[in-house]
Amino acid sequence: MLIRPRVDEDRATKTLVGLHGHSAAPLTEEDEAVLGRIARCLPILADLARGDVLLFKPADEPLTAGVIAEAKPHTVPPIYPESLVGRIVRHSEEPSVIRAITRGSTSSRIHRLLVQGHPTVQDVYPVKSGTQVIGALAIEIGLVESERQKRKSAVFRRAIDRLRSIVIAGQLEGSENLSRLSEHDGPMVVNAEGQIVYISSVAEQLYRKIGYTHSLLHHDIGSLRTDEGVFFKALESGACVEQVVQEGPYTWLKRAIPLMGQGTDRLWRLVMGRAEPRDQVILTIHDVTEESQKERELRIKSAMIKEIHHRVKNNLQTIASLLRLQARRTGSPEVSAMLQETINRILSIAVIHEFLAHQDATKIEMQEVTQRIISEVSRGIVDPEKRIRFLLDSDSVHLPTQQATSCALVINELLHNAVEHGFASANEGSVHVRLSADDDRVVVEVADDGEALPPGFDPRSAGSLGLHIVQTLVHEDLKGTFALVDGEGGGAKAIVSFPRTE
């Protein structure tokens, strides 16, 4: 919300409407395309101009305009912490914006006062498509920052003005490929002949680290022993370029923003050696050595962790193979069944480690895990002569590693229980597994259409070992609830509900 002297809105409305009609002409597809190109360039302009940048277009009502895009600077604290996109303003609120749209006039250094903020300075420029005004671009800078910019080199200030003009014309190419700047970026301005015409203290300090103890102002950038490929690529292509380069022990992130517009005129000037003084490239340098080192360390740790999960998975599968061999050799069907249940529990854990060994994510997609467990159960314990179908109905449920492991074991035990007790005397039927989740909880349901539960059945006292394992996992690990009830169409349904954890 802005505070400024009261304006006679009715008088202003009559004057502007009388001059320019009752409402703005509707924008064409070409007009919208121009505004879209400008909107993509706002972040780099906000960072270099060190102010909030707002793009307006005429609204439906006369003498109103709407904010269609904005960019907050990353190089200084923003003026507006909240988003203003979608806000509709009137002449009494933003007179400079309305004048820019209705009259095509530019307003510079308009002093304003923000509620719960500091004094600011606003510049507003009309946006045109051909000769038609289709919007307005406003740059709002804190008063202290504005005074600081006045003390900067005139060369750099003219370069920022040139950048603003190119952005408003929708002629800055490739800006969407640039990452955001920060207060640690050191800007430079290099003309089309390669001469450094401005260099910030931050950039000079970075070059001093690699041996350039003297000032590089007015030096030819092509004579430096550093990788300045971004400058030549931007000069040749007329588009913004970003590149990470290695300068001795340091890693630098370099960006190049050409200030030459587009088209054959630019190419003709470069080929004929007739570059104009305003034909320049803004370079920015950011030392990302520490960030790159941390990123490399994280990649190494991630690879090591993946290798550990891979080896754990292999060891678990080896143990399962040994138990499977033992189950074949035992002469007791009861012992063989117990070993098979243990094998499936081990394989359920192995599935989690297999996913962790091949994924970068810290969360596991439970739909895929459940499908793998169903496959293992159907191959391992279902009598081939019985026709039991397994159905899976699942939302996209992602769980962290610990919860995923416990949930996988719960699903394995519930499938075992459904097959073993629901189809002990039945030869066909189905087991339906459903996973669902909202923002707070996850629900797992395993229902079968086999035999019903015995009257008065209580899983806490009369349940099998598998059900006791389920209750322990649900209550102790997942901090959830477990219920075993009669199925809607016969059989039984197990319901597990637990809260998500991060």
- 343 pLDDT band (50/70/90 cuts)? confident
Instruction: Tell me what the mean pLDDT of segment 481-497 comes to.
Output: 88
> Computed from CA positions of residues 28, 30, 36, 39, in that sequence, does the dihedral angle turn out positive or negative?
negative
Burial 276-313 (b: 16+ CB within 10 A, else e): eebbbbbbbbbbbeeebeeeeeeeeeeeeeeeebeebb
Q: Cα separation of 123 and 138, whole Å? A: 6
Smallest Cα–Cα separation from 349: which of 369, 322, 378?
A: 369
Contact 421/451 with Cβ under 8 angstroms? yes
pLDDT tens digit string along 88-145? 999 999 999 999 999 999 999 888 877 567 799 999 999 999 899 999 999 999 999 9
Per-residue pLDDT, 199 = 96
Residue 411 reports pLDDT greater than 60: yes
Mean pLDDT of the chain: 85
Q: Cα separation of 188 and 286, whole Å? A: 12
Residue 11 reports pLDDT greater than 80: no
- Sheet of 241-247, strands arranged across: 196-199, 186-191, 280-287, 250-259, 241-247
Smallest Cα–Cα separation from 136: which of 210, 226, 66?
A: 66
Residue 16 reports pLDDT greater than 70: no
- 12 pLDDT band (50/70/90 cuts)? very low
- Cβ atoms within 10 Å, residue 145: 20
Q: Cα separation of 408 and 325, whole Å? A: 24
Q: What SS3 state is found at 90?
A: strand
Residue 51 reports pLDDT greater than 60: yes
Per-residue pLDDT, 18 = 40
Contact 261/279 with Cβ under 8 angstroms? no
pLDDT tens digit string along 205-233? 999 999 999 999 999 999 999 999 999 99
> Where is pLDDT greater, at 469 or 443?
443
Whether pTM > 0.75 for this model: the answer is no
Residue 6 reports pLDDT greater than 50: no
Per-residue pLDDT, 160 = 96
Contact 288/206 with Cβ under 8 angstroms? no
Compute CA distances 312 → 177, 335, 358, whole Å.
41, 26, 13
Report the range of poorest mean pLDDT among 256-270, 272-286, 408-422.
Answer: 256-270
Residue 165 reports pLDDT greater than 60: yes
Kindly give the interhelix angle for 366-380 and 333-358, rounded to the nearest 10 degrees: 150
Per-residue pLDDT, 272 = 42
Smallest Cα–Cα separation from 44: which of 223, 266, 242, 194?
A: 242
- 276 pLDDT band (50/70/90 cuts)? low
Task: Work out the percent of the chain whose per-residue pLDDT is above 90.
Answer: 51
- 13 pLDDT band (50/70/90 cuts)? very low
Instruction: Tell me what the mean pLDDT of segment 426-435 comes to.
Output: 89
List alpha helices for 210-263, DSSP H: 229-237
Per-residue pLDDT, 452 = 83
Which of the 8 DSSP states describes residue 220?
A: B
User: Any bridge partners for residue 447, and if so which?
Assistant: 432, 493
Distance of alpha carbon 303 from its chain centroid, rounded? Answer: 23
Per-residue pLDDT, 17 = 41
Instruction: Tell me what the mean pLDDT of segment 297-314 comes to.
Output: 78
92 burial level (CB within 10 Å; 0-12, 13-18, 19+) = middle
- 277 pLDDT band (50/70/90 cuts)? low
- Look at the block and give the residue holding tokens 């630098």: 252
Instruction: Tell me what the mean pLDDT of segment 148-152 comes to.
Output: 92
Q: Cα separation of 62 and 60, whole Å? A: 7
Where residue 429 falls (left for φ over 0; alpha for ψ -120 to 50; beta otherwise) is left
Instruction: Tell me what the mean pLDDT of segment 364-374 comes to.
Output: 87
Report the range of poorest mean pLDDT among 241-250, 473-482, 483-492.
Answer: 483-492
